[in-house]
Amino acid sequence: MTVAEFRESKGCGPPLVCVTAYDAPFAQVAECAGVDAILVGDSVGRAVLGYTNEFPVTVSDIVHHTAAVTRAVNNTLVVADLPYQSYATPDDALRNAATLLQTGGAAAVKIEGGLATANITKELVNRGMPVMAHVGLTPQSAHVLGGYRVQGKGLSEAQEIVNGAQAQANAGAFAIVLEMLPAKLAGAITKHVTIPTIGIGAGVHCDGQIQVLHDLLGLSSSDFRHSHVFAEIASISEAALSEYAQQVRSGDFPSLEQSFKGRRGTVKRLTFE
């Protein structure tokens, strides 16, 4: 899946399937499962790095995790998030996006914001760096948005989101994430913008969906209404590790099957001081 194929899929075929991933094993699993795109999101902060929000995540964190993901996949579009304040100016954006593409190996970057960051999108796209936009609930602006709540419920807020989405599409974004919006608003944006809309908590009318991997696999403590636990990997892992601990303590593990033999008589001839 290339950026161009992703963009041109709008209006044809089934919804696009996107998920976050931050390491090689899960990236491989996502590719084998047939997802269309992996986002190395700044959600890595909450999902993997033990932070309570996205603010502490740095460009170096995203580069590190993006490189692990891109080493593991062959056919899946990999998009890397530009983290908090890493695209405050066009120069910052160009430098940091180039690092995510060049060192991380991503095919595109994602930035948050509508009208306010459309100029950044234009600069990046003009320099050949594909941009996925992100409007609605944008976690890097959680303080001004009043926390993690549904956006665009009233007319003026909804109109601002529509204007932002259109500005990003006009600036050259190849797709746009719609986070935590009323489903009808997301549907209207999807109908009117020319690029694929990727929803998270934005209902069924989007051109695709994205979720945080760890929320889908029961590996996070988040309890978002818009997510769903498809497998309880945390409890499966806990049961496996309890069994391992029990077998080590009882002497059942390792058994002969997991042990190695040396040459006959070697140990007998060793000397110990």
**Cα 235 to the center of its chain, rounded Å:** 23
Residue 31 or 215: which CB sits closer to ligand KIV?
215
**Contacts with ligand KIV in 119-178 (CB under 6 A)?**
134, 177
CB-based contacts of 175, cutoff 8 Å, min separation 6: 6, 7, 132, 133, 195, 196, 197, 198, 208
Contact between 210 and ligand KIV by CB under 6 A: the answer reads yes
Residue 195 or 200: which CB sits closer to ligand KIV?
200
Name the one range near ligand KIV by CB under 6 A: 41-49, 68-76, 237-245, 264-272. 41-49
Residue keyed to tokens 């529509």: 162
Among 27, 69, 162, 212, binds ligand KIV (CB under 6 A): 212
- d(C-alpha 240, C-alpha 177), whole Å: 36
For residue 167, the number of C-alpha atoms closer than 13 Å in the C-beta half-sphere is 18
User: Which member of 179, 232, 257, 273 is catalytic?
Assistant: 179
Total residues contacting ligand KIV (rule CB under 6 A)? Answer: 12
Name the one range near ligand KIV by CB under 6 A: 7-15, 40-48, 117-125, 218-226. 40-48
To ligand KIV, the closest distance from the beta carbon of 145 in angstroms equals 14
**Contacts with ligand KIV in 8-37 (CB under 6 A)?**
20
Residue 81 or 123: which CB sits closer to ligand KIV?
81
Contact between 117 and ligand KIV by CB under 6 A: the answer reads no
- d(C-alpha 178, C-alpha 112), whole Å: 10
C-beta nearest to ligand KIV: residue: 41
Among 63, 181, 200, 206, binds ligand KIV (CB under 6 A): 200
Among 16, 35, 38, 39, binds ligand KIV (CB under 6 A): 39
Contact between 81 and ligand KIV by CB under 6 A: the answer reads yes
157 is catalytic: no
* Binding region for ligand KIV (CB under 6 A): 20, 39, 41-43, 81, 134, 177, 179, 200, 210, 212
Catalytic residues: 179
